[in-house]
Structure 1
Amino acid sequence: MSKAIQRAEEARKVTAGAAKPYPFWLGGLAASFAGTVTHPLDLTKVRLQTGEDKRMVQSFRRTVNNFGIRGLYDGLTGTLLRQMTYSLMRFAAYDYFKSQLHDGPGPAPIWKLAAAGSCAGGLAGMVGNPAELIMVRMQADRGKPPAERYNYRNAIQGLYRMAQQEGVASWYRGLVPNGVRSVLMNASQLGSYDWFKHRILDLKVFEDGPIVHFLSSLGAGTVATTVCSPADVIKSRIMNAHDQTGLLKVIRDSVAKEGPGVFFKGWLPAWIRLQPNTILIFLTLEQLKRGVDKYRHAGGTWL
């Protein structure tokens, strides 16, 4: 076979590999890895939002002093369940909606990216709400007085106990604020990541690689933290409540006691948590996609 024919065949394989969708579970796998690494920061953020601690370092130290280093991983099973439901769905749905909204040449405009992210976020928020709720309860548990703790052994047992004691409908407590947050998160994080990536590549300073992915993630994490902070605070307070406190009552009571700034309470730990989480997710996801591409180009057919 001549070199020209070989090059044509390689180009055909690359094009075919790029056109074929990636496995739907890649996003969940990347998010699970990132969530495990950043879990202590997420736990601290939730305890700041739902407890009496005022500063991130204070909350971090209290957890370590009272429960040791292992205490920083309270609720890890809830985090992993959340990533393999909510995150798996949002990445898979985002790719689908993006392909449906834009099939022309060149990158999609920002409004289409935001729309795809919003649709994916709404769907993922519904699918992942039970795991989100159990994760918040498990993370916040040791920050509360012993008499008020849920003491779930793991996420599955926690969901089972909730169904027994509070009914299956309890799995969808906080669905509205969580759904709003999910829409905002995915529109701002997924959409802005693609937007930043296209803009950076347009500068022709860096090739598509880890540097571009890192810078794009940095921008996406900052945008997402700011946009999602109010909904995130409300969601955590509703999900952590023992009674059937409604959305409007939580907002009214929070503003009355702590002022409008309450909606950005925990912004710094949220940003510190979301930035490495966002960076790890997208760096891992991009590498997983490249691994799939190499596998396909080598003739693999399972992925």
Structure 2
Amino acid sequence: MAGRRTIIYTVEVSDKKGGGFLRRASPVHLQDIFNKYASFEKNGEKFMTAEDFVIKYLKLLDENNYNADTVRLLAAIVDTSKDGLISYSEFQAFEGLLCFPDALYKTAFQLFDTNGNGMVSFHEFVEVMTKTDLQKKIPFNMDSPFVQLYFGRDKKRLVTYHEFSQFLHDFHEEYAIEGFRRADKEGTGFISILEFQEIMISIKSHLLTQQVQTHLIEAARESQGGTRVSFPYFIAFNSLLNNMELVKRIYLNVTNGHRAQEVSKEEFMHSAQAMSQMTPLEVDILFNLCDLLHQTGPEQYFKQITNRLAEIHAVSSPEDRGVFIQILESTYRFSLGSIAGAVGATAVYPIDLVKTRMQNQRTGSFIGELMYRNSFDCFKKVIRHEGIFGLYRGLVPQLLGVAPEKAIKLTVNDLVRDKLMDKKGNLALHSEIIAGACAGGSQVVFTNPLEIVKIRLQVAGEIASGTKVRAWTVVKELGLFGLYKGARACLLRDVPFSAIYFPAYAHTKAKFADENGYNSPITLLVSGAIAGIPAASLVTPADVIKTRLQVVARAGQTTYSGVLDATRKIYAEEGFRAFWKGALARVFRSSPQFGVTLVTYELLQRYLYIDFGGTRPSGSELKVTSIGDMKKPQNPDHIGGYSVSLPIFSGIESKFGLCLPKYSISKAS
């Protein structure tokens, strides 16, 4: 809605050579750029003139059509010595100033501090204001009580930087009210819709997108039911513009962090009252504007406002794209999933080995002392007897299988989510669960052969023999059908695991996202790890049964013919607790593994993003709000501070109601 709310852009922070938006400027590089534009030389030292800085370097104005006073005023921001020339030290200081978070206020202060004494007087303020287009169009009463409160009744009080920054903020709002007061000549409390439009575009244009500007009259007419705008509506409209970040927080509160969910006006109002005071009139204006901008029809109490409040763009349905494009997208996701799966598996493989050996350790049917007292004891004994590489027994077949296994799981989950998502980008919880279950079921074709080979290699180290067990030997021994022994138990484990994991991950990630919906790598990793805890622990019994079915029973150990048979015998011989053997090791393996896998997968999609017209992970882009239309630097020499501050300088000519003469006043004037 407001420009600072709805015009969004991606902040690029790359320092890579030759690329990146925000490039850091070294002193040598900055000196070279200064020398390039400095056309005046005095006592062997180069200086920039006002035209050099504003016209040639900043490229703010048309070199063939500009106002000399405007150029002088803007250059005076840098020219702190007020001698009409800009030295390198002043240029360097200005670049540094622009890196401050309050750069806009600092530069505005230097603009009004025309004599450079570090204070702003009433006469300096008037000197700048009288040269602005806005003052000529909508004169501000310089004798108003508001001005007297800051500069004193005699207007001799000098204002410091911090005081002046507050003055500018308040002046911006006071100017809008002054505009209404001047338009309401008869004191009726009403102005015409055309006057409302003129005031908003003249004074608050930097808070309005072009789309909103074109709908101002329509919005006011629908809300006010006529051709006039009341003062309460005017104030509510301006208040809404100034509090769009609050509006977004209210929306995220009512949706419990979900950024693609429809809310009713009543739901939004309840949340607004719980968090802070937002008037019913402001909410009415908000929903009315969303209705107009999105053309959602005549419904008054249920409108989609996500594009305005959460900066989420509705995506086209996958079915709207060609089959070939969908295949390419699936291939792309499969490739990234393979890499992510391999990284995740390698990171936690030693824990997986310990988990497998703990689950295979029997009691009740095998006479003899337990080999391992606990997971930590198992870990120590593997290193002692088999060396550090013993922790990685079976890793090669694991990597050969885990790549397609994790890839197909991640790809199918994304694919099914796309298919079940409605045209507005919403996905119900039951649809998330179905997508996860489908992902878990689809992976078994790769998981079972992989795990049966891996498990037999992992437990081989427990048996002292001169023969080294190799993966290919296990495969030949099992045969094609043998590779799918325990597949039912594998399904019983993987389907509920994924049905729990993926929805939990999506919702946890949303909770950890910042107010702009962005997830850092750390929050992605933590979200993946947290989601893995309930998913991994709750399916441990199925994992125990699968492990028992897939290992080769040694002499004296119980054998099992199937899932039900294994369940009965394990319970009869070892009790209920046996089904939770290795649960801790499983959580410590699965939780970080999927955390590493998911953060790798999402970062790969983030940095190797290819737009196929489908969805991409939410929270994958740092989206922030800009003030005005965001553009990249026009000049490759715009580096360092200027590049950093560009977002806040977009539309600077109308910020704070200043509206400096920029293009409208010709050189001849």
- Name the TM-score, length of structure 2 as normaliser: 0.39
Report the aligned-residue RMSD: 2.9
Is contact 1:35–1:80 with CA below 8 Å preserved after alignment?
yes
Aligned to 1:301: none
Change (3 A) 1:256 1:145: farther
Q: Distance between the aligned counterparts of 2:358 and 2:397, measured in 1? A: 18
**Greater Cα offset, 99-108 or 262-271:** 99-108
Q: Does 1:259 align with 2:571?
A: no
Is contact 1:25–1:92 with CA below 8 Å preserved after alignment?
no
Q: Distance between the aligned counterparts of 1:105 and 1:129, measured in 2? A: 38
Give SS of 1:23's match: helix
Which amino acid in 2 is paired with 1:261? Answer: R
Question: Which structure exhibits the higher relative contact order, with contacts defined as CA atoms closer than 8 Å and separated by 6 or more residues?
Answer: 1
Give SS of 1:54's match: coil
The 5 A counterparts of 1:106-125 are: 106-125=425-444
- 2:529 maps to which of 207, 218, 221: 218
Structure 2: gaps of 5 or more residues: 1-6, 11-312, 319-324, 362-369, 554-558, 613-669
Q: Distance between the aligned counterparts of 1:196 and 1:47, measured in 2? A: 32
- 1:240 maps to which of 551, 554, 559: 551
Q: Distance between the aligned counterparts of 1:145 and 1:227, measured in 2? A: 34
Structure 1 residue 107: Cα displacement: 4.6
Structure 1 residue 162: Cα displacement: 2.2
Aligned to 2:345: 35
Change (3 A) 1:113 1:15: closer
- 1:102 maps to which of 421, 430, 440: 421
Aligned to 1:92: 411
Q: Distance between the aligned counterparts of 2:611 and 2:488, measured in 1? A: 41
Structure 1 residue 237: Cα displacement: 0.8
Is contact 1:178–1:231 with CA below 8 Å preserved after alignment?
yes
1:51-99 CA distance string (max 9 Å, x none): 2423011111111111111111101112112312321211111111111
Is contact 2:455–2:547 with CA below 8 Å preserved after alignment?
yes
Q: Distance between the aligned counterparts of 2:529 and 2:347, measured in 1? A: 17
Is contact 1:110–1:195 with CA below 8 Å preserved after alignment?
no
Q: Distance between the aligned counterparts of 2:538 and 2:426, measured in 1? A: 24
Q: Distance between the aligned counterparts of 2:463 and 2:436, measured in 1? A: 35
**Greater Cα offset, 179-188 or 123-132:** 123-132
Aligned to 1:4: none
Structure 1 residue 109: Cα displacement: 2.5
Structure 1 residue 249: Cα displacement: 2.0
The 5 A counterparts of 1:221-300 are: 221-242=532-553, 245-293=561-609
Aligned to 2:492: 180
Is contact 1:28–1:91 with CA below 8 Å preserved after alignment?
no
Q: Distance between the aligned counterparts of 1:157 and 1:87, measured in 2? A: 25
Q: Distance between the aligned counterparts of 2:592 and 2:397, measured in 1? A: 19
Structure 1 residue 158: Cα displacement: 2.7
Structure 1 residue 26: Cα displacement: 1.3
Which amino acid in 1 is paired with 2:450? Answer: A
Change (3 A) 1:62 1:34: same
Q: Distance between the aligned counterparts of 2:512 and 2:517, measured in 1? A: 8
Is contact 2:314–2:424 with CA below 8 Å preserved after alignment?
no
Which amino acid in 1 is paired with 2:338? Answer: G
Q: Distance between the aligned counterparts of 1:255 and 1:37, measured in 2? A: 33
1:203-229 CA distance string (max 9 Å, x none): 738732223312311321112112211
Is contact 2:394–2:454 with CA below 8 Å preserved after alignment?
yes
Structure 1 residue 119: Cα displacement: 1.0
- Name the TM-score, length of structure 1 as normaliser: 0.82
Aligned to 2:629: none
- 1:209 maps to which of 503, 520, 538: 520
Structure 1 residue 181: Cα displacement: 0.7
Structure 1 residue 239: Cα displacement: 0.6
Is contact 1:197–1:212 with CA below 8 Å preserved after alignment?
yes
Aligned to 2:392: 73
Q: Distance between the aligned counterparts of 1:39 and 1:170, measured in 2? A: 24
Structure 1 residue 259: Cα displacement: 1.2
Q: Does 1:153 align with 2:475?
A: no
Which amino acid in 1 is paired with 2:487? Answer: L
Q: Does 1:133 align with 2:445?
A: no
Structure 1 residue 178: Cα displacement: 0.4
Identical pairs, percent: 27
**Greater Cα offset, 249-258 or 64-73:** 249-258
Q: Distance between the aligned counterparts of 1:91 and 1:210, measured in 2? A: 18
Structure 1: gaps of 5 or more residues: 1-6, 298-303
Q: Distance between the aligned counterparts of 1:252 and 1:54, measured in 2? A: 25
Change (3 A) 1:131 1:279: same
Is contact 1:126–1:179 with CA below 8 Å preserved after alignment?
no
**Greater Cα offset, 104-113 or 219-228:** 104-113
Structure 1 residue 271: Cα displacement: 1.2
Over alpha carbons, which structure has the higher Rg?
2
1:15-71 CA distance string (max 9 Å, x none): 99xx87343221121011111121110000000000242301111111111111111
Q: Distance between the aligned counterparts of 2:588 and 2:416, measured in 1? A: 29
1:130-183 CA distance string (max 9 Å, x none): 112111111122124549x8x4323x44323322xxxx2111100000011110
**Greater Cα offset, 138-147 or 207-216:** 138-147
Is contact 1:27–1:91 with CA below 8 Å preserved after alignment?
yes
Structure 1 residue 122: Cα displacement: 0.9
Runs of 4+ in 1 over 3 A off after TM superposition: 19-22, 144-147, 241-244
Which structure carries more helix by proportion?
1
Q: Distance between the aligned counterparts of 2:545 and 2:492, measured in 1? A: 10
Structure 1 residue 186: Cα displacement: 1.2
Q: Does 1:24 align with 2:323?
A: no
Q: Distance between the aligned counterparts of 1:145 and 1:247, measured in 2? A: 30
Is contact 1:121–1:182 with CA below 8 Å preserved after alignment?
yes
Is contact 1:85–1:131 with CA below 8 Å preserved after alignment?
no
State the number of aligned residues: 278
Q: Distance between the aligned counterparts of 2:381 and 2:561, measured in 1? A: 28
Change (3 A) 1:226 1:50: same
- 1:50 maps to which of 360, 371, 380: 360
